[in-house]
Structure 1
Amino acid sequence: MESSRSPAKKARVLEGETRTSGTSTEYFYLPLTDALKMINAKVNLFASVSEIREPRRSRGTDYVLTLKIRDQSYSALGLSVNFFAENTTKLPHVRSTGDIIGLHHVVMKIHNGEFYCVYNKRFSSFALFEGKTAESFSAYQTSTGYKATDHDNEFLSQLRTWLLNYLHDAVLNEYSLELNRIKIGHCFDLICKVLHLCETSNSEWVLFVWDGTDTPPISFTMELDNEGKTPSPLHVEEFSLSREVLHAFPRVGTVLRVFANKYFKEVPQLQGGGHWVKLCNMVCELQSDMWKGVLQPSSKIHLLSDQDDTILHRLKMYNDRITSKPKCQPFMSFPQPSDITDTDFRHAAFATLMDSLTHPEVTHRCKCIVRVAAAYPWRGEDLRSPVDGHYRIRLTLEDPTTRIHAYVYREDGIQHIPGIFFWWLPNK
């Protein structure tokens, strides 16, 4: 931004000037690095919103909202802006991170070595514009007293170009991961859709999130001899989800459970599901040999617009996947599942376990590619019941969409149990 200004204009900008000529007002916008030098002065800024906090009550009677902003000159850390208003309707309602804000007459401050600026409801004003994907120069929200100028469009264009060239390639792609690339203990950002939200008995939140990809398969560490007393759990959350909730889940792709403490004030806004978010600085760990996401004290939750470029790209990849027969199969089975055994429905289409769980009829005949996570009994000499002599076995099956218990009994046991043990070789 700075390099495009003439020396005369640059000199006026460094003073943070606002000039009125007749009925028009000119606002000279400072790059954020220059604004840091103007402590206790009123400045005008044009920048991209990089973080959105939840509005809260101030120590007085006002509401306060904190946004973080950045531009070409100050992109790494971002600058905090504290907005004060007597009610929340007068605060900025940013639709998505990456949107652009124009600020007039905000005051630069420093506290304990950290720079920030304050929006004073008596003399400051703001305008919000769509971010990098937009072409319109019209603001979607303006405060009372905001006066647009002709050169606002120039700054909008410059910031949108920078967002496309810098933020998407240099920041998003380096640190953000899809669920199919997660690793244990690795800190990352996840752009995902919150499908459901519930609360645990320990006052934690559980977010059920999805991005259309499959989590990687993991090695099983469970003790097989304990299966009789303590069956392998089917999910990491303490309460089973209702059929109604499961029916709303996508049939393909992993729904990851992400646990968050009560200090995340953004979580209640996600009630009802359907919100796209960016979960920043989260980690993944294993619980009962299943993936589990965890939001740390340093984690952030950013609300995203449905029209965000990354979300549109995620949805396109998912649509490509579900319209392709091979891609509907779990990623772990590519390029083609082994034909080590035969089935009665060899030419049937593949389904997922989530398809089966949410099937409207009691009986669902399907063909699934699954892993056997556990079996009980698992020793060959114990497969016949000592009571009636029939074969019986309880299998714990999983695919990327869910985990279930499956029971093989009597005639089915005679036909299928030998094949099951042929391709499932447990490690004692």
Structure 2
Amino acid sequence: MSSSSKGHFVGIADAMNNNRINQRVNLIGVVTEIGLPKQTRGTDCFCTLRIVDETSPTTGISINFFYETFEKLPQIASAGDIIQIFGAAIRSYVLGVDAGTNAVVDKKYSAFGLYEGKDGSNLVPYQVSSKFRVKKQDDIFIEGLRKWAVSRPPDPDIAASGDCFLLKDIDEERIMEGQTLNLICKVLHVCEVKQGEWMLFVWDGTDAMPLSINTKIEDEYENSIPLLLEPSPLSRDVLCKFSTVGNVLRMISNRHQKLRLQSLKAVVDKWVQFKNISFEVQGGLWYGILLPTSKFSYLSNEDDLVLQRLRTYEERARGNSKRMPLSCIPSPSDIIYTDHNDAPLVTLMDVLCHPEVIGKFKCVVLVVATMPGHPSEFRASCGTYRLRLTLEDPTARIHAYLYAEDGVKFFGGDPSIDALIKMHKALLGIEETNSEKPRNPPWVELCLNSYNIDEKDVWASRRYRIFDTTFMVTVTV
């Protein structure tokens, strides 16, 4: 469809000419990029879309939308969807060293309608603004864009795979430098974790690198290292929909900005590219920060970068050794020995989602904390071992208990307090000569047994014990 055949629509290349500045035009295009919805300093809600057409197939035009509520802003459903806009105002702008042309859609003079972008879909818009009126003669333009989009040039930003990181590429150095990154991932879940605060759960099949632990082990009584970043655990129904291999990253909005993450519910179960994401650390766990400048683009399930990630995941998910954390390969530390060599290796998410309450598992984990924090308190006055270990792998954190005869087997009987201190430091990655330094626990293999403590609510009361696991006391620290 040439620019001369667009009827009452203006081609994007034409709209961006200087002679269009301050005019109102009608536009139709394929949505390629979506800004996060946010509250303006006034009463309006705001978001930005970038659209392309055959006259501007890669650069396109940025369009700012202003409406009274977040719900009235465009809610893009899928990759390649089409938007019709009537009465968009063309504006010139200067932002720092950047200058250019964009379009503005407002509630008073403009209207828009959203259509599925897939060729052969129906010609009924799935969202319209209050002033939008469907025009049958516009069907030809929608069908033309759908056919053009099948072979249109790839988005140059998405095609630049070298600029898109995997979760396994995120490291503490980039965090310290305050870098922002682009991330291609699948959005698994969106939920409100506090009043007005929303969290996204995203995954790409790889493991984020484990972090050094800065908290003091003696503080576990007063301020335990958290199992989760969210205030309360997700429901079992939600958790069991997550992959059991690969890190699930939590993402929140910048606490100083009023971003409307609730509006991102449409992205659940879809692959997207997030741009300009920063990362922070809390309690030894990574989390992503969506900034006011963050944007995202939908990706097709057939996109090459998506297929690459799925192939990597499928290779990991097959077989026993593939479920081992990426940073542990080729093998965990030999300071721990387990008796169940024939037991399949599983992740902590496998353990949490196991369909039976009672089960036995073998996992490769980090021991990131113990309670009590000092080996002198590992045994009760009667001499019985009773302590709680906080275990972590890329998929989850859990508490596991070491009790009575299992503690005797783990510590090799009745070692001296000096031997217990030595084992404790080795297990938690505490430097022998400087206990104040951040600890870096080694990957170790443990056997876990799950059980419940309340017959009325077997899932909420599920607990885990370490068994048939022995610390090799002859290993030097």
TM-score scaled by structure 1? 0.73
Aligned counterpart, 2:354: 359
Contact 1:51 1:97 in 2 (8 A): no
Aligned counterpart, 2:63: 80
Distance 1:159 1:174, change over 3 A: farther
Q: 1:166 aligns with which of 156, 160, 179?
A: 156
Distance 1:384 1:218, change over 3 A: same
Contact 1:276 1:304 in 2 (8 A): yes
User: Which residue identity is paired with 1:402?
Assistant: A
User: 3-state DSSP class of the match of 1:235?
Assistant: coil
Distance 1:388 1:292, change over 3 A: same
Q: 2:329 aligns with which of 334, 337, 362?
A: 334
Shift of 1:68: 1.8
Aligned counterpart, 1:8: none
1:68 correspondence with 2:56: no
Alpha-carbon distance in structure 2 between the residues aligned to 1:237 and 1:126: 36
Contact 1:52 1:97 in 2 (8 A): no
Aligned counterpart, 1:408: 402
User: Which residue identity is paired with 1:376?
Assistant: M
Aligned counterpart, 2:287: 292
Alpha-carbon distance in structure 2 between the residues aligned to 1:233 and 1:396: 9
Alpha-carbon distance in structure 1 between the residues aligned to 2:25 and 2:343: 67
Alpha-carbon distance in structure 1 between the residues aligned to 2:426 and 2:155: 50
Q: Cα deviations across residues 394-428 of structure 1 (Å, max 9, x unaligned)?
A: 21110001111111122111111359648414242
Report which structure shows greater RCO (CA 8 Å, sep ≥6): 2
User: Which residue identity is paired with 1:80?
Assistant: I
Kindly report the root-mean-square deviation, in angstroms, between the aligned alpha carbons of the 2 structures: 4.5
More displaced stretch, 274-283 vs 233-242? 274-283
Distance 1:188 1:76, change over 3 A: farther
Aligned counterpart, 1:96: 78
Distance 1:225 1:300, change over 3 A: same
Alpha-carbon distance in structure 2 between the residues aligned to 1:123 and 1:201: 35
Contact 2:36 2:259 in 1 (8 A): no
User: Which residue identity is paired with 1:187?
Assistant: T
Distance 1:51 1:328, change over 3 A: same
1:318 correspondence with 2:309: no
Shift of 1:237: 1.7
Shift of 1:223: 0.3
Contact 2:16 2:90 in 1 (8 A): no
Q: 2:91 aligns with which of 97, 110, 120?
A: 110
Shift of 1:331: 0.8
1:198 correspondence with 2:183: no
Contact 2:186 2:271 in 1 (8 A): yes
Shift of 1:216: 0.9
Aligned counterpart, 1:178: 166
Aligned counterpart, 1:10: none
Shift of 1:272: 10
Shift of 1:149: 6.9
User: Which residue identity is paired with 2:353?
Assistant: T
Shift of 1:333: 1.3
Alpha-carbon distance in structure 2 between the residues aligned to 1:101 and 1:344: 61
Distance 1:276 1:140, change over 3 A: farther
User: 3-state DSSP class of the match of 2:20?
Assistant: coil
Alpha-carbon distance in structure 2 between the residues aligned to 1:377 and 1:55: 46
Contact 1:125 1:144 in 2 (8 A): no
Q: Cα deviations across residues 40-77 of structure 1 (Å, max 9, x unaligned)?
A: 557686754232468999xxxxx998532246868568
Shift of 1:340: 4.3
Contact 1:32 1:45 in 2 (8 A): no
Q: Cα deviations across residues 286-309 of structure 1 (Å, max 9, x unaligned)?
A: 101111222222223555555555
Instruction: For 1:120-139, list aligned pairs within 5 A.
Output: 130=117, 136=119
Contact 1:32 1:74 in 2 (8 A): no
Alpha-carbon distance in structure 1 between the residues aligned to 2:196 and 2:385: 44
Alpha-carbon distance in structure 2 between the residues aligned to 1:124 and 1:242: 40
Aligned counterpart, 2:468: none
Distance 1:397 1:129, change over 3 A: closer
More displaced stretch, 320-329 vs 194-203? 194-203
Alpha-carbon distance in structure 1 between the residues aligned to 2:61 and 2:194: 37
Alpha-carbon distance in structure 2 between the residues aligned to 1:18 and 1:272: 34
Aligned counterpart, 2:447: none
Shift of 1:353: 1.0
Contact 2:198 2:252 in 1 (8 A): yes
Q: May I ask how many residue pairs the two structures share in their alignment?
A: 395
Contact 1:127 1:146 in 2 (8 A): no
Alpha-carbon distance in structure 1 between the residues aligned to 2:88 and 2:310: 41
User: 3-state DSSP class of the match of 1:192?
Assistant: strand
Distance 1:42 1:336, change over 3 A: same
| Sequence identity percentage | 34
User: Which residue identity is paired with 1:392?
Assistant: R
Q: Cα deviations across residues 198-241 of structure 1 (Å, max 9, x unaligned)?
A: 32345311222222221111111110111233322211222233
Distance 1:265 1:201, change over 3 A: closer
Distance 1:42 1:349, change over 3 A: same
Alpha-carbon distance in structure 1 between the residues aligned to 2:229 and 2:24: 52
